[in-house]
Amino acid sequence: MDKSEIDTPALIVDLDVMMRNIREMAKLARERDVKLRPHVKTHKVPEIAKIQVEEGGRGICVQKLGEAEVMAANGLNDIFITNEVVGQVKLSRLARLREQVDVYVAVDHPDNVSDLSRTMREQGLELGVYVDVDSGMHRTGVPPEKAPELAEAVSKSEGLYLVGIMAYEGHAGGPINREERISLINKAMEQTLLAVRLIRQRGIEVGEVSVGSSATVRYSSTFEGITEIQPGMYVFNDYYLVEREAATIDTCALHVLATVMSRPSPERGVVDAGSKTFHFDMNRYPIAVGIEGVEIVKFSEEHGWLILRGQAQEKIKLGDRLEFIPYHVCPCVNQFDILYGLRRDKVEKSWTIAARGKVT
């Protein structure tokens, strides 16, 4: 199939750019001597997860049990759920999954440690656990001072063993100002390594020290003591990362292909892709590429409202197909069922986004 035959809106991925992104991150991990666990919540496609593992990933990360189940069913067998798994229905699902593959979870609460332990004991299983340390994001996780207590609880719990700690510095990638980012990463790594020291002082071994988002990992992975990184967005990149100097327009592998479906006036247009296509979690719009003077300024659910400037006012016709880089690629991919992989203008792959919508 040719690109021109793809109906819109559609997710299209430049396979050459994607492969280069995958290999560069694997190379960085090798050079820094850290384990790479790509976070597959970005693409949710088992086939891409397998490519990432083949190219140098030593396992994967997912954010949800449902994603882990899909990945396991498709042959992935070393899966870290970088999140707390809470509630009886999920614990039973987790036990069934643990029977099939190596799966790990994060914990930040002693009650959850007890529940996990009981579930695994009852099933005669052993589950690897990362203590979730809050290194400054203030979402989940325990502060470094409380990490030893939780690590000890895990170590002493039948059916569980301590893999190490996780300390996700997602907040540190936020600021567009470089100095602010670096400062937040420094503080986050300080807190992370403090947790490691405090746990070790209690005589408990810390195996993995897992950190890193695509926006921060090139710097956070340089800290002595970090053993594992979990970037996700780098596989495609997006405009969030471009603004934070972690990607360039040319390394953005994924575009949304859309059609101009209305041209109400010279300076206005509408494409057939809105908030149900791009998502809108960061309150920022996608960026048109390959053409000057086209800007999305508003969404309806199925409409992208365009302002056209300069030559674009004459150039853009009803039925034209435009390409956009999502501002935040992860929730955008999650809106679709299919991901088209292209080389030049030929569709080489048509992947099912098998873990799309796996929110439980």
Residues binding its own copies (CB under 8 A) = 5-10, 41, 63-64, 83-87, 89-90, 93, 108-109, 111-112, 115, 134, 138-142, 170, 259-264, 268, 270, 272-273, 275-277, 279-281, 283, 299-303, 305, 317-319, 321, 330-331, 334-337, 356-357, 359-360
- Our CB check for its own copies shows the closer of 218 and 356 to be 356
- Our CB check for its own copies shows the closer of 8 and 123 to be 8
Count the alpha carbons within 13 Å of 161 in the hemisphere toward its beta carbon. Answer: 10
Least spacing, CB of residue 283 vs its own copies, in Å: 6
Beta bridge partner(s), residue 321: 259
Least spacing, CB of residue 268 vs its own copies, in Å: 7
Least spacing, CB of residue 68 vs its own copies, in Å: 13
Longest Cα separation, the chain? 71
- Our CB check for its own copies shows the closer of 93 and 349 to be 93
Least spacing, CB of residue 277 vs its own copies, in Å: 5
DSSP class of 146? G
Beta bridge partner(s), residue 299: 304
Look up residue 137 and give its amino acid. Answer: M
The count of other CB atoms within 10 Å of the CB of residue 248 is 10
- Our CB check for its own copies shows the closer of 17 and 235 to be 235
Least spacing, CB of residue 33 vs its own copies, in Å: 30
Residue in 113, 206, 107, 93 with CA at minimum distance from that of residue 159 = 113
- Our CB check for its own copies shows the closer of 41 and 98 to be 41
Contact 130, 80 (CB under 8 A): yes
Percent of the chain that is helix, strand, coil (3-state, to 5): 40, 25, 35
